[in-house]
Amino acid sequence: MTGAGSFAIGTLSAALIFCSPVRAQDSDSDRLIALMRIGDTVEIMREEGLRYGAEIGAEMLPDVSPDDWNRTVSRIYDAEKMEAVITQGFESALDGEDVAPLVSFFESDLGKEIIGLEIDAREAFLSEETELAAIDAYQDAQDQQTELFKQVETIIADSDLVEYNVMGAMNANLMFYRGLADGGAIDLGESDMLADVWAQESSIRAESEAWLGSFLMTAYRPLQAQELASYAELYRTAEGRVLNTAVFNAYDRMYDEISYLLGQAVAEHMRSEEL
């Protein structure tokens, strides 16, 4: 599933026969990565990141020129580098795995439609008004226990999406603290940083649950119940579980790197203010 809220959500395709089985596997992995449209997702994540970075600047660097800080954030959220990190993460996670069934699914009309719906929903959530309306709709569906709500909740539970998102968010926050500390902006040891991150766990979990439910309901609303059931079934297979893990590992790696760089950048700007 394509996703990282402020953190990453992952994307939940007939193999060609070559003389070398290694080359065939590599070909399937490359095709799967292309079918998941990482570049399109990264462009949206960059927009999310620019907004998030601006919020950090307003909160932590009130005396720094917004234009100067925004240029720094723009350099950190470099779409080409972001896509490279994610792609490398996928390639590493999928190395040696049989992804031909995944290629077959995502090459199908339904697979392509699902990826497109996920990307469209994520782009729509760039509007705060749209996101808040989606959260309200999700809560209404929860009260009514609609069929779509139940299917989405099953998908979330089957793939441990809340746990993956909470873990990813907390790791990214820890990396931000490490960037601040290494840059000299805060004087906290690792245990203190970990304690502060864990203190945020309950709020991160609540936000993740609301965001995931509203996002997936928005994305999958156009699908027929059986189509969504087929997609959910994919992630119950061994190949689907491999993909689910690969998605989160790849996107979390990107967010960890960016979070650390943001922390360092905040520290650098704080030092500049002091001078």
Average pLDDT over residues 176-182: 97
Q: What is the pLDDT of residues 2-30, one digit of tens each?
A: 333 333 333 332 222 223 333 334 478 89
> Residue 25 has which token pair?
């596997």
Angle separating helix axes 161-182 and 147-158, nearest 10 degrees: 60
Residue 98 CB contacts under 8 Å (≥ 6 apart), including other chains: 25, 28, 239
Mean pLDDT (the chain, rounded): 89
Tell me: pLDDT of 64 over 60: yes
pTM: 0.87
Provide the residue type at 270 as one letter.
M
Q: E-assigned strands of the chain?
A: none
- Residues belonging to the chain: 275
Q: What is the pLDDT of residue 15?
A: 27
pLDDT tens digit string along 243-274? 999 999 999 999 999 999 999 999 999 987 66
More confident residue, 5 or 156: 156
Residue by residue, DSSP assigns 153-178 as: HHHHHHTTHHHHHHHHHHHHHHHHHH
> Of 162, 168, 153, 166, which is closest to residue 232 (Cα–Cα)?
153
Between CA 149 and CA 214 the distance in angstroms is 9
Are 122 and 78 spatial neighbours (Cβ–Cβ below 8 Å)? no
Say how far apart CA 97 and CA 35 lie, in whole Å: 17
Nearest CA to 8 out of 204, 220, 241 is that of 204
Percent of the chain exceeding pLDDT 90 equals 87
Q: What residue has token string 């339904």?
A: 110
- Residue 266 is inside which H or E element, if any? helix 238-274
Cβ neighbour number for residue 142 with a 10 Å cutoff: 16
Q: Which residue has the higher pLDDT, 157 or 21?
A: 157
d(CA 255, CA 258): 5
Question: What's the CA gap between 252 and 250, in Å, rounded?
Answer: 6
pLDDT at 236 > cutoff 70: yes
